[in-house]
Amino acid sequence: MFCESHNVGAFVGTLYERKGKVTLYKWIRMTPEFSVRIIDVTRFSVQPNKKSNDELVKVFGSGAELASARVFEGGGAKIEAWFRRHPDFGGNMAAGAPSNETNVADGLTKLAALRGSGALTDKEFTRQKGRLRG
């Protein structure tokens, strides 16, 4: 099965994405810390640990905590940034969310901006555009 890996920083770990689901593997143990569907994730909380150089990152969706993991200091922000750049981020927002047509248009606009900034290659842009359009 095809799987994409995304390194979120030295001493933080790697996010492995497969079929709309992402799993965080920390760099030391290489055991899964959490696994969530990207479309379900809507927000994050990062709490520093004053006694050590780590922090607790919590992943939320529909008002509930979906997952949490302890990561090296600064890792929570990197994980959150990765999710927020993903076109499926927050796709399952509660009632009152914009229509699918609006989501597709907004998604295409965001993808174009990411491609324009160099964050996405033309190939990645085309692939993500296909996912948005179904």
Tens of pLDDT, residues 8-49:
776 678 888 888 888 887 766 666 788 899 999 988 888 888
Assess whether pLDDT exceeds 60 at residue 131. Answer: yes
Report the pLDDT value the prediction gives residue 98, as an integer from 0 to 100.
Answer: 47
Report the pLDDT value the prediction gives residue 95, as an integer from 0 to 100.
Answer: 40
Question: Averaged over 95-103, what is the pLDDT?
Answer: 49
pTM for this structure?
0.62
Give the pLDDT band (50/70/90) at residue 2: low
Burial (CB count within 10 angstroms: exposed 0-12, middle 13-18, buried 19+), residue 46:
middle
- 55-96, pLDDT tens digit by residue? 888 999 887 899 988 888 888 888 888 888 888 888 866 444
Q: State how far the Cα of 111 lies from the Cα of 56, in Å rounded to an integer.
A: 30
Report the pLDDT value the prediction gives residue 96, as an integer from 0 to 100.
Answer: 43
Burial (CB count within 10 angstroms: exposed 0-12, middle 13-18, buried 19+), residue 33:
middle
